[in-house]
Amino acid sequence: MSYANQWYVPRDGLTLLPDGGVTSAAGFKAAGIHAGFRANPQKLDLALVVADEPCAAAAVFTQNVFCSPPVMVSREHLAASGGVARAVVINSKVANAATGDEGLRRARCQAAITAEAVGCPDDEVLVASTGVIGVQLPLENFEAGVPQAAAQLAATPNAALRAANAIMTTDTQAKSCAVTFDGGSFGFPGQVFTVGGMAKGSGMIMPNMATMIAVLTTDAPLASPDLSVALKAAVGVSFNKVTVDSDTSTNDTCILLSSGAAPGSAQTSDFAESTPGHAAFTAALTAVCTALARAMAADGEGATRLITVNVTGAATPEDADLAARTVANSPLVKTAVYGNDANWGRIAAALGRSGARFRAQDVSIRIMGIPVCEGGLALGFDEDEALRRFEQPEIAIDAHLGAGSAAATVWTCDLTHEYITINGDYRT
Amino acid sequence: MSYANQWYVPRDGLTLLPDGGVTSAAGFKAAGIHAGFRANPQKLDLALVVADEPCAAAAVFTQNVFCSPPVMVSREHLAASGGVARAVVINSKVANAATGDEGLRRARCQAAITAEAVGCPDDEVLVASTGVIGVQLPLENFEAGVPQAAAQLAATPNAALRAANAIMTTDTQAKSCAVTFDGGSFGFPGQVFTVGGMAKGSGMIMPNMATMIAVLTTDAPLASPDLSVALKAAVGVSFNKVTVDSDTSTNDTCILLSSGAAPGSAQTSDFAESTPGHAAFTAALTAVCTALARAMAADGEGATRLITVNVTGAATPEDADLAARTVANSPLVKTAVYGNDANWGRIAAALGRSGARFRAQDVSIRIMGIPVCEGGLALGFDEDEALRRFEQPEIAIDAHLGAGSAAATVWTCDLTHEYITINGDYRT
């Protein structure tokens, strides 16, 4: 089973594709090649995703003050094209961040070179870069590599996998996923739509690397504003709920393209905001984003386990997020999971300092389903049974605050010796 | 040189005592004994600090929602006594946190047992506990131990050191410090006052341990409200600026007692808020708290280096704190220091996501005095020279945001394999 598919959470009405990815939806091709950004010729380092026709597009970007030139250029292009895109070009190894005006010029060249190879206006190309901060992009790698990638474009699972490989930095696994859903629930029975994508990132901030990047594609016909609404909703409960080492990088980019090329495709209006079609699409997109996000957390730097923190009973959604995020970011909670230690005191301490409003005596906590704290007090539990449950690849922490009905889920990974080794090394 | 004295920052008008501690100020005695909280009879685990006469007292406590019974009892007693205290009794090994009504009852007994041994009302005893969460205090250890400690009370440096040792958990070094200052600057030349204290905490939250605890003493005659003002000011720029693994525990307690017993002591009114005397006292208290706080960061779990993050040029003090704290809490910055890596990209990324308001192009960053980023862009620097400077025990990171004139300093330590080993172990 593909790596991201391992972390897929089944949902009614959706079918997971065994080899799904960024080319599963009709109308998209991809390629991943070695273009010389990396020294090792075996390593892919340039990904190209191209739509057969101009697409409706939407994107969300990093909120970091240090936002990188590729982010600025992609924002500009989406605005200039009115939400239309034909291609996405991504390199690894060099993030083109903190590179100033020269970096901005080079990001524009990256788009222009791609536009020429694909045959579209510059502003229909979106760009992303990931890797070392403070180094200028070598444009010659795009000049030679992009035409070569364009010549290899294919709609096969293998092409999608190569593209997903080309955007990896410290990721140990390529992350691709796709689902299909049927139009029956909104009046088009038998009409099948696909949503797929790829992502990279084994921390929201990499070492001296930067970036989480995701490219998502669909053949459901959505207009750009509707894509944008669906993307924000899906990202809000998936990529934005992942934390490996605390937060967003300078380059975080998540792009969604709609070809509308599903065979016998339904009318665009059926996917407009607030329609049943939009809801069905958003659910499918959320499922794909969640699988990719969970895969990112599970593949966090040095991780041995995925940690899922569920907070329920919060006074507000903001409180729920704050509480879940504080637990997920706690080095003490993360090292306890690494040590197979059902240490609820560390969870309680993190909840207590999170800023979420609740009373200690109303809190209950379960670890892997085992009640360990009730009414703010310790519960006796079977330590051997807890140890057995820690052998699972996913560790569930559930905290009920008893302060309301809001809930949030945040994903992270354990904090290990290997994380220190990866991030404590000299830059190389 | 004593451990905390190594981290003392000299200030005009203050004299550092070579063996200073909680008994340096006139009018205080201390003891540290093994009372059976710990299994190993070589380990001290009960500290007692007693004033010869009832003292003016002030304290600050954890803001954590899960606040422990000893914190509740100390708050109650300070309120009931109107800011008067005679003794502080502290045990290690058992935190008496998340122990409910029974825990509260036992904290009150802890105080009552001490009151009887010392010969004062219950509400003149302040209590603190540090250690494992969710376990009830063994009262018999206080019943046997407190009278024994009371019999050993002494004003010697050795007694102060034993008390500082008895409150340690994962600390590797006892932390004691004291300074003297002369009354000349506020009209009492030749009149010498002393401020000293002890602290524990090698993380603001311990593993399954809880707590930072500090007991500070002075023979300068201050009334309780004036002590409170000085303590809040000093703690705000010292203990509250330390972060090892993110935040306050359930038991954090910092107590300040004034005996007014300096030989030939000046009048109380000379130390009232807003007087030159108060300013001189606050400066001395801040110096002691800062040395203890820096010692706590330097002795952070698994630490090999103290990291000092200075942010200047911020729009507001809040922005400065937010920026400095986000850098200091970044696992990527902390692992980079461990790896002797002058990785300013990680510092920039942390500043950028901190929420502090500034423009990327206005930022400059120095690491150990070496300019590495100017105007938001990379500067070439001598990597060999940087490596040499990383051999120092204290690593300075200076960031200027170019957005105003506010500044903040936060202390932390590097994040190491040993941290993971300490915190990833099973509870024992």
How confident is the model over B403-413, as pLDDT tens digits? Answer: 999 999 999 99
Going from the C-alpha of B167 to that of each of B143, B309, B411, the distances in angstroms are: 18, 28, 22
Is A264 within 8 Å of chain B by CB? Answer: no
Sequence-ordered alpha helix ranges (H) in B330-382? 331-338, 344-353
Is B250 within 8 Å of chain A by CB? Answer: yes
C-alpha–C-alpha distance, residues A62 and A253, integer Å: 6
Could you say which of A211, A290, A326, A409 is catalytic? A211
Q: What is the pLDDT of residue A64?
A: 80
CA A151 vs. chain centroid, Å, equals: 28
**A339/B425 CB distance under 8 A:** yes
**B208/A343 CB distance under 8 A:** yes
**Is the CA virtual torsion B224, B228, B229, B230 positive or negative?**
positive
Pairing of strands A84-91, A125-129: parallel
Q: What is the pLDDT of residue A203?
A: 58
Q: Is the pLDDT of residue B206 over 50?
A: no
Q: What is the DSSP string of A42-110?
A: TS--EEEEEEEEEEEEEEEE---SS--HHHHHHHHHHHHHTSEEEEEEEESSB---S-HHHHHHHHHHH
Going from the C-alpha of B371 to that of each of A139, A157, B367, B379, B380, the distances in angstroms are: 28, 48, 7, 7, 9
Q: Which of B109, B110, B66, B71 is nearest to B89 (CA)?
A: B110
**B132/A351 CB distance under 8 A:** no
Within 8 A by CB and 6+ apart from A72, the residues are A104, A107
Reduce the DSSP state of residue B173 to 3 states and report it. coil
Q: Least CA distance to B380: which residue of chain A? A: A134
**B353/A416 CB distance under 8 A:** no
Q: What is the pLDDT of residue B245?
A: 64
How confident is the model over B239-277, as pLDDT tens digits? Answer: 888 876 655 566 789 999 999 999 877 666 689 999 999
Residue A391 gets which letter from DSSP? T
Q: Is A273 exposed, middle or buried (0-12, 13-18, 19+ CB in 10 A)?
A: middle
Residues in chain B with CB shorter than 8 Å from the CB of A417 are 417, 420-421, 424
Is B417 within 8 Å of chain A by CB? Answer: yes
Reduce the DSSP state of residue B253 to 3 states and report it. strand
Within 8 A by CB and 6+ apart from A428, the residues are none
Is B316 within 8 Å of chain A by CB? Answer: no
How many contacts does A have with B, using Cβ atoms within 8 A? 211
Q: Which of A73, A31, A26 is nearest to A49 (CA)?
A: A31
pLDDT class of B208 with cuts at 50, 70, 90? very low
A200, A249 Cβ separation under 8 angstroms: no
Q: Which of A318, A324, A373, A369 is nearest to A345 (CA)?
A: A373
Identity of the amino acid at B334: K
**B351/A100 CB distance under 8 A:** no
C-alpha–C-alpha distance, residues A41 and A360, integer Å: 56
Q: Is the pLDDT of residue B419 over 90?
A: no
B107, B125 Cβ separation under 8 angstroms: no
Reduce the DSSP state of residue A168 to 3 states and report it. coil
Going from the C-alpha of B240 to that of each of A45, B97, B303, the distances in angstroms are: 45, 21, 19
Reduce the DSSP state of residue B342 to 3 states and report it. coil
Average pLDDT, chain B: 92
Q: What is the pLDDT of residue A266?
A: 65
Chain B closest-CA separation from residue A227 CA (Å) = 26
Q: Least CA distance to B353: which residue of chain A? A: A64
Q: Which of B66, B64, B121, B111 is nearest to B91 (CA)?
A: B111
Q: What is the DSSP string of A183-252?
A: EGGGTEEEEEEEEEEEEE-SSSS-SSEE--EEEEEE-S---HHHHHHHHHHHHHTTGGGB-SSSS--SS-
pLDDT tens track, chain A, 428 positions:
789 999 999 999 999 999 999 999 999 999 999 999 999 999 999 999 999 999 999 999 987 888 889 999 999 999 999 999 999 999 999 999 888 899 999 999 999 999 999 999 999 999 999 988 888 999 999 999 999 999 999 999 999 999 999 999 888 999 999 999 999 988 888 899 999 999 998 654 433 334 689 999 999 999 999 999 999 999 988 988 887 665 556 678 999 999 999 987 766 668 999 999 999 999 999 999 999 999 999 998 889 999 999 999 999 999 999 999 999 988 889 999 999 998 888 899 889 888 899 999 999 999 999 999 999 888 889 999 999 999 999 999 999 999 999 999 999 999 999 888 888 864 44
Is B355 within 8 Å of chain A by CB? Answer: no
Q: What is the pLDDT of residue B212?
A: 87
**A377/B208 CB distance under 8 A:** no
Chain B closest-CA separation from residue A11 CA (Å) = 34
Residues in chain A with CB shorter than 8 Å from the CB of B330 are 205, 245-246
Q: What is the pLDDT of residue A407?
A: 97
Q: Which of A158, A159, A178 is nearest to A4 (CA)?
A: A178
Chain A closest-CA separation from residue B349 CA (Å) = 6
B107-121 burial: b if 16+ Cβ within 10 Å, else e:
bbbbbebbbebbebb
Q: What is the pLDDT of residue B115?
A: 98
B132, A378 Cβ separation under 8 angstroms: no
**A207/B332 CB distance under 8 A:** yes
DSSP E strand stretches across A247-314 = 253-258, 306-314
**Is the CA virtual torsion A116, A120, A123, A129 positive or negative?**
negative
Number of residues written out for chain A: 428
**B346/A207 CB distance under 8 A:** yes
Q: What is the pLDDT of residue A426?
A: 47
Residues in chain A with CB shorter than 8 Å from the CB of B375 are 100
Note the ipTM here. Answer: 0.79
Q: Is B264 exposed, middle or buried (0-12, 13-18, 19+ CB in 10 A)?
A: exposed
Percentage of chain A beyond pLDDT 70 is 94
Q: What is the pLDDT of residue B205?
A: 44
**Residue A393 CB neighbours (<10 A):** 11
Q: Least CA distance to B387: which residue of chain A? A: A426
Preferred mutation among A132, A332, A377, A415 to probe B, highest tally of B CBs within 10 A:
A332
Is B64 within 8 Å of chain A by CB? Answer: yes
DSSP E strand stretches across B28-162 = 28-33, 46-61, 84-94, 125-132
Residues in chain A with CB shorter than 8 Å from the CB of B97 are 345
Preferred mutation among A64, A65, A384 to probe B, highest tally of B CBs within 10 A:
A65
Tokens at B49, concatenated: 């600090």
C-alpha–C-alpha distance, residues A220 and A234, integer Å: 16
Residues in chain A with CB shorter than 8 Å from the CB of B421 are 417
How confident is the model over B270-318, as pLDDT tens digits? Answer: 899 999 999 999 999 999 999 999 999 999 888 999 999 999 999 999 9
Q: Which of A208, A332, A360 sits opposite B66 (nearest CB)?
A: A360
**Residue B135 CB neighbours (<10 A):** 18
How confident is the model over B17-67, as pLDDT tens digits? Answer: 999 999 999 999 999 999 999 999 999 999 999 999 999 999 999 878 888
Chain A closest-CA separation from residue B147 CA (Å) = 31
Is B335 within 8 Å of chain A by CB? Answer: yes
Is B311 within 8 Å of chain A by CB? Answer: no
Residues in chain A with CB shorter than 8 Å from the CB of B100 are 361, 375-377
Q: Which of B98, B353, B420 sits opposite A345 (nearest CB)?
A: B98
Please compute, for residue B315, the number of CA atoms within 13 A of its CA located in the half-sphere on the CB side. 9
Chain B closest-CA separation from residue A353 CA (Å) = 5
How confident is the model over B72-96, as pLDDT tens digits? Answer: 999 999 999 999 999 999 999 999 9
pLDDT class of B202 with cuts at 50, 70, 90? low
Output Rg (C-alpha) for chain B, integer angstroms: 22
Residues in chain A with CB shorter than 8 Å from the CB of B208 are 336, 341, 343, 345-346
Q: Is A412 a catalytic residue?
A: no
Packing angle between helix A100-118 and helix A139-151, nearest 10 degrees? 20
Q: Which of A66, A378, A417 sits opposite B360 (nearest CB)?
A: A66
Within 8 A by CB and 6+ apart from B158, the residues are none
**B98/A420 CB distance under 8 A:** no
Q: What is the pLDDT of residue A226?
A: 96
**A345/B133 CB distance under 8 A:** yes
Residues in chain A with CB shorter than 8 Å from the CB of B377 are 98-100, 134
Interface of A with B in 198-227 (CB under 8 A): 203, 205, 207-208, 210
Is A351 within 8 Å of chain B by CB? Answer: yes
C-alpha–C-alpha distance, residues B326 and A348, integer Å: 22
Chain A closest-CA separation from residue B376 CA (Å) = 6
Token pair 């020269």 is at which residue?
A102
Q: Which of A177, A181, A179 is nearest to A277 (CA)?
A: A181
Tokens at A9, concatenated: 């959470």
Q: What is the pLDDT of residue B232?
A: 93
Preferred mutation among B61, B63, B65 to probe A, highest tally of A CBs within 10 A:
B65
Is B371 within 8 Å of chain A by CB? Answer: no
Kind and range of the H or E run holding A159: helix A157-166
What number is the average pLDDT over the span B366-386? 93
C-alpha–C-alpha distance, residues B160 and A425, integer Å: 41
A72, A96 Cβ separation under 8 angstroms: no
Preferred mutation among B63, B212, B335 to probe A, highest tally of A CBs within 10 A:
B335
Q: Which of A310, A308, A332 is nearest to B248 (CA)?
A: A332
**A64/B352 CB distance under 8 A:** yes
Percentage of chain B beyond pLDDT 90 is 75
